Structure 1
Amino acid sequence: MRILQQVGADEAFGDLKAFKFGKVTEQDHVLAAAVGGFTTGMSPLEMTSAYTVFSNKGLFLKPRAISKVTGFNGEVLYKWKDEPVQVWNPSTAEKVRRLLQKTVTSGTARKVAGAGQGAGGKTGTTNDFRDFWFIGFNGPLTAGVWVGKDKPESMENINHQSPHLLIWSDIVKNRPGRVSARFHWVYYF
């Protein structure tokens, strides 16, 4: 909150424009945003895609569920032509990456430390334990996990199990191509 106050909400939100968060408005340009106080907020997919810049030297690339289509013999039939965009200075992205790694090595995400030496991310839990989430990276892979109920209610009884961290760790240890597509649809969406 102090950093947002020093930088100024409008300046800070200017750094987020490249991510094209669909529901962030001028009303959100307040100090409460530093602790999640948004009118509507962002989707898990929007947040996860934004986190890719931390392990990608500040480059942002729009996420795609299918990166390419190949034929039976491996020839590429279709591939997106999206180009990465430099949205953050590489040195800034590196500083944030190192901070997010501390969350895994000595912070609230220690349960995912076995996912890899370069793993980093951010945990979150809403009031009354209605939502658990973790967005993080391990090498080139960035994944986000949200655990909650359709009709929000407390999940305090499973808080100690950290289901969001266990699911995330499972995803990054079993990268796409090594497990069934069904597994990924269950965890990603």
Structure 2
Amino acid sequence: MSATRLLVLGVVRMHGRAHGYMVRSELLSWGADEWAHIKFGSIYHALRQLAKDGLLKSTDIPDWPGRVDYELTPPGEEEFYRLLRDALRQGNNRPDMLGAALVLLPALSREEAIALLRERIASLSAEQGELVARVDETAGERPQRAHIRELLGLWEHSAASQAHWTEALIGRLEAGAYVMAGDEKDA
């Protein structure tokens, strides 16, 4: 899964119609160049590839030579939601994917976001259990490799920490934090 793909689809979706510079400006305002490692060229490559894949519709702007505007197609909308949902529900994804999902979280209804985050906790709990078993197993193996337990322990600690953070996010969402899809804007 690509964070760049999710982010580019998300920004185009937010604006309804966007050109490369607009997508880049939005992503830079979120700091995505730092946490998702998105480079200027990768945005334009993603836009062209998404259009080639039929997920975006491209339109050349005659009064502005070289400018191309992009809009989501129905398959692009489906792909956006698939990537967003997968990034939220899977506990073992990369930090850039989770970051992309978090900045696009308001595209989901509150109820769906909470349900997906609960799936994330289940995934993290399963991962944590597997890691604890591997740490215990590794401890009994060859002494010259016993230090590998530290890496497995780090991963187990990370999974536990992510589960704790996810529980707190669910609590904030249940308390009404953030404007989500379907919320009344003036409430």
Same fold, judged at TM 0.5 (above): no
Bigger RCO of structures 1 and 2 (CA < 8 A, at least 6 apart) = 2
Q: Which has the higher strand share?
A: 1
TM-score (normalised: structure 2): 0.28
TM-score (normalised: structure 1): 0.28
Q: Which has the higher helix share?
A: 2
